[in-house]
Structure 1
């Protein structure tokens, strides 16, 4: 009797180990396929670009978003020229145009680029009288904010200046904090899309391998 019970228990253990191994295999397959798709489509870069366009209130990427990506503090992070992703056919645009856009932009690079654009203007205007305006100061930032032509971002920068009480480093940190908060939301978009894709891949892999934990 005890021998039968031990044999039965051993069979259950073997089945449990087998099921765990199969599900681990499916999980590894799903993760590998997901990473392959990411390397091919650069969806992190796509979500980042869309997030920056939303943050800078530039949905068509014809103003601040384009200027930011073309600024040396950001353009150094990728190869080629910046071409906005179409918000409707983003997947085809990502395949053909944005394979080299950055998947991550440090908050420091973002803040310094934005501050420089406020004082000196876009890179395309490097020959203007503002291009060699010397060291950036809080006074210059405040007096040139109106040049942005973007009321929402102007309001954010004025708030960053007011709370900094004349300290340029604090202004930079305030802009970085604003950017980081927006990037947390972008990370949420990416995680949700990743979870949905992993579920679909796992389901397909389970069907292909005929995985059935019930029978």
Structure 2
């Protein structure tokens, strides 16, 4: 088998994988986002883990923890978090059934965690202590900067690009972090860490769903991937035969012999039949019970399966017929498609592009130097 024919077969198979992957991804997004709200549930698990971790740390440091029994619901009931929720549907606007958000900004999450985790008196004490720390640091800055020589003070004002001493103090205060600020920053870092870990949870859950969807799509369409690949590998001369058949058909049509009783009609029919072999083996077909080995119900293996898609597949078989049972290679092809779908559309797009680039790449001719 020549290399160009091998590339052609690979491109056709990759095109099928791209179609199935895009379809499975679209279905999965519709299910995960609209029906299951998988992102919102994953984020809720992150918030639960964060609250549990901070609760243990707060008790270890002697801080008073809120007596609220369900901290997760208290978190989502805060006004700033409720503002991020949206109704599940149009009826949800009336019934007030709202979906939990799928993303929360880290600083907002840290502020809300502290607000629901700590006892209100403990939180008020932390904020009062933070104000005292800021006032003490501001007084220290004023004393230190006022003691500087005029030349050094002017140099510091110029470096900070401010107008006067008060603006210089405000600029320095922006970098000051109180105990409460450092605690919020630490929670933000832990939140970001849990979010990065949750991406792995979401990816594994998504891949499981994609595998199921891909298997259902492959089995529902009854595609014979391995059979189609084998057919493409065997059709090395297909492009050449296609051009010959095309030229023959055009010649017969120009002569007005297409569809007539002329002997050349046999050549015309043969050309049309050769082009019919390009069909993708897709869809379920009905066969007579007499063609099936097995019991009286028609279960078993089909004799002489014949070409696929001779007629359009029907939704139900007539009396005395049964669906053509799949072969073992077909089932293996379904599983391969299901596994391939889990790799994502971007993987197949990149691979498809690389194969196409290799197929269309030609030899580079180096021009001879001119004298």
Report how many aligned residue pairs link the two structures: 160
CA distance in 2, matches of 1:106, 1:183: 11
Deviation at 1:41, TM superposition (A): 1.8
Deviation at 1:137, TM superposition (A): 4.6
Higher strand share: 2
Does structure 2 retain, via aligned residues, the 8 Å contact 1:111–1:172? yes
Write out per-residue CA displacement over residues 81-126 of structure 1, whole angstroms, 9 at most, x where no aligned residue.
xxxxxxxxxxxxxxxx9761101122111111123345673xxxxx
Does structure 1 retain, via aligned residues, the 8 Å contact 2:106–2:191? yes
Q: Provide structure 1 residue ranges, at least 5 long, that are not aligned to the other structure.
A: 81-96, 122-129, 141-163
Match of 2:115 in 1: 116
Match of 2:48 in 1: 53
CA RMSD of the aligned region, Å? 3.5
Match of 1:103 in 2: 102
Match of 1:136 in 2: 127
CA distance in 1, matches of 2:14, 2:117: 57
CA distance in 1, matches of 2:80, 2:218: 45
Match of 1:169 in 2: 181
* Helix, strand or coil at the partner of 1:105: coil
Distance 1:181 1:100, change over 3 A: same
Q: Provide structure 2 residue ranges, at least 5 long, that are not aligned to the other structure.
A: 56-67, 88-95, 132-175, 228-371
* Helix, strand or coil at the partner of 1:136: helix
CA distance in 1, matches of 2:114, 2:40: 23
CA distance in 2, matches of 1:54, 1:25: 39
CA distance in 2, matches of 1:188, 1:49: 15
Match of 1:16 in 2: 10
TM-score (norm 2): 0.37
TM-score (norm 1): 0.61
Match of 2:71 in 1: 64
CA distance in 2, matches of 1:178, 1:188: 16
The structure 1 segments of at least 4 consecutive aligned residues displaced by more than 6 Å after TM superposition are: none
Higher helix share: 1
